[in-house]
Chains A and B, each alone.
Chain A
Amino acid sequence: MMKKSNSSFKRGIRKLKQHKLAVFSFWTLLILYLSALFAPIIAPYHYETEKRAFSYAPPSKVHFIDSKGKFSRPFIYRRNYQFNEFYKKVYQEDKTKKYPIKLFVKGDSYKFLGVLKTDIHLFGVDDAAYFNLLGTDSRGRDLFSRIVYGGQVSLSIGLVGVFIALIIGVLVGGLSGYFGGKTDTLLMRLAEIIMVIPSFYLMLSLRSVFSYSLSSLQIYFIVVFIMSFIGWPGIARVVRGMAISIRQREFVLASRALGGSHLGIIRKHIIPHTFSYVIVAASISIPGYILGESALSLLGLGIQDPYTSWGNLLSEAMAVSQIQLHPWVLIPGIFIFITVMAFNLLGDGLRDAFDPHAEFIKK
């Protein structure tokens, strides 16, 4: 058998592996995405499960040492609350009975991936106690569970949105750069019109085109549409620039001499040469999509209660008093921060590994 030579892709992967922060970011993101995929299993409660009595309960204390000073498996105590003189709930642990944290416990039933009906959760406690790893929200819903479920929306919107924006951007940029002339003028002016409108206002006005009361799935797709509508012109512009320089290379002329059609040349010779940029641009622009979704949901225009996304969860933290009294409502923001950081670092690593032009800038 003939041995196939190393392609530039394999060389890029090898270079990427030397970039420690990028590798670390990659694994962080992988864990986040897997937890979003397996959200119903990982979350101890369903995102709609609410116990009004436990509104704004602080994170449960996980104990390792019991009242007798003996080391034991992790457990929590049941909590009771009293009102203090300001009518604020004060939670106290009832130390009479330990509730050990168990693995693979039965809890709220759910359909895994939409088919498999089950009620097994990765961890949890017996029903008598309410286990809130990261506290609860105003309606006593478990924040950790809602964050895990919210990741499904927040994390996937970045991927889906970037994917759509990339397809449009690469196509428009490729056509525009390859053909030049009037096609180029028309497409690029269109892109510029979208680019000159401040993106946040554009987002709000696009959102206002659609009805306010829609199902959560519809809203999800509207948000994806809005984000990719705003995102494609930037990609199209850079791809166009690359296409202009590539179309003058001799292998493109050669392909024309070989009877290649215009679209075939764009597909086979022009667009693949922009991939090094496109991969990097994708990973760097994903945070923008996640933040955009968060912003929309924060304003109540994106994902609506009871469905959850990280931006939607953060809307509880809009008042300073909330942050003072219940600082744990800010935790979804930490997840956004981690994800955005990880994508940026991974994007840096990808750029170093795949974008041949970037090396000169760095040195």
Chain B
Amino acid sequence: MEKILEVKNLKKYYPVQKGIFSKTSDSVKAVDGVSFSVQSGKTLGLVGESGCGKSTLARAVLRLIEPDLGFIFFKNKDITKLSYKEMKNIRRNFQIIFQDPFGSLDPRFTVFAIISEGLINFSANTKKEVIYEKTVKAVEDVGLSKDILNRYPHEFSGGQRQRISIARALVFSPKLLILDEPVSSLDVSIQAQIINLLINLQKEKGLSYVFIAHDLSVVRHICDQVCVMKSGKIVERGETSQIFANPTNSYTQRLLNSIPQINLHSTS
């Protein structure tokens, strides 16, 4: 099967500066030599505790922050060294959904301006009617009504905002979505709605996902393959069913054991 995204030995270090002359004494290895690949049309899960470098990895892969070392291939094309302008043409192929639905939408933009921003950036000469139609389509695809287009983000709940984020990402039909903990700040019933929406969209549009999460039950539900991350490194990888059935790495075992379970018989 075709690899849509491949990451090789990616590194991102943050220097730790000490003293009055900002001497770089040490560095935080946020992402420390990570390699993985995503198959076209599949979902790769990235799990790990908070602070293990998942979000940094997500941003480095899209070159929203610059990785220090390593290679990123999109459809076998190396995009690591492309300039910011060259990246623009590639960017329409992949998008990112952020964890915080309150921080990821510009509070001064209307929903219409938020969703159409990418459309306008990628195809400057598109007619206004076309942009409007596509925006309406994107809003309806994520289960919202087109009446919301003239409203501002602060008027929506977290779940609705996350739907707006998804509409913004999907409006120009990218191939790959990086979901950076898209549901972890929502409540449980809304989480299920958003997850189901993502699964449906994947089926309809043939999208590939990189799904970043710390909630393993969600990962089990949505992912085909899973990578387990710890302190910037991938410690275990494999098919979802296999990892959940018999994890080999001790960290993965502990992670799996930490899923709260309701055992009705033990207390009686």
Contacts and interface: CB of A to CB of B under 8 A. Distances in A.
Interface of A: 2-5, 7-8, 249-251, 253-262, 264, 268-269, 272-273
A250 B117 contact: no
28 contacts: A2-B149, A4-B110, A4-B150, A5-B150, A5-B152, A8-B107, A249-B103, A250-B100, A250-B103, A251-B104, A251-B106, A253-B96, A253-B98, A254-B96, A254-B165, A255-B106, A255-B117, A258-B91, A258-B95, A258-B117, A258-B168, A259-B92, A259-B118, A259-B121, A260-B117, A260-B121, A261-B85, A272-B108
Contacts of A268: 106
Given A251-B103, A269-B106, A273-B108, A257 B91 contact: yes
A90 B103 CA distance: 74
A360 to B, nearest CB: 18
B147 interface: yes
B119 to A, nearest CB: 9
Contacts of A264: 121
Contacts of A4: 110, 150
Interface of B: 59, 62, 64, 84-85, 88, 91-92, 94-96, 98, 100, 103-108, 110, 117-118, 121-122, 147, 149-152, 155, 165, 168
A254 B104 contact: yes
Given A250-B100, A253-B96, A259-B121, 12 more contacts: A2-B147, A5-B150, A251-B106, A253-B59, A254-B98, A254-B165, A257-B62, A258-B95, A258-B118, A258-B122, A259-B92, A268-B106
Contacts of A256: 64
A-B pairs, top 5 by smallest CB distance, nearest first, are: A258-B118, A250-B104, A259-B121, A251-B106, A250-B103
Which of A3, A249, A262, A273 lies at the interface centre, i.e. has the most chain B CB atoms within 10 A of its CB?
A249
A3 B155 CA distance: 13
A262 B59 CA distance: 17
Classify the interface of chain A: helix, strand, loop or mixed.
helix
Nearest to B180: A250
Contacts of B104: 250-251, 253-254
B121 A254 contact: no
A262 B84 CA distance: 9
A5 B117 contact: no
Nearest to B122: A259
A298 to B, nearest CB: 43
A253 B88 CA distance: 13
Contacts of B117: 255, 258, 260
A185 to B, nearest CB: 12
A58 B92 CA distance: 76
Given A259-B91, A259-B121, A269-B106, A254 B150 contact: no
Residue in A7, A258, A272 whose Cβ sees the most chain B Cβ within 10 Å: A258
B230 to A, nearest CB: 25
A5 to B, nearest CB: 5
Given A254-B98, A257-B64, A258-B118, A5 B92 contact: no
Contact of A3 (B96, B122, B150): B150
Nearest to B117: A258
A3 B150 CA distance: 7
A259 B149 contact: no
A278 B126 CA distance: 34
A18 B95 CA distance: 44
Nearest to A262: B84
A132 B149 CA distance: 62
B133 to A, nearest CB: 16
Contacts of A255: 106, 117
B98 A250 contact: yes
A261 B118 CA distance: 11
B108 A8 contact: yes
A1 B219 CA distance: 43
A87 B107 CA distance: 72
Nearest to B103: A250
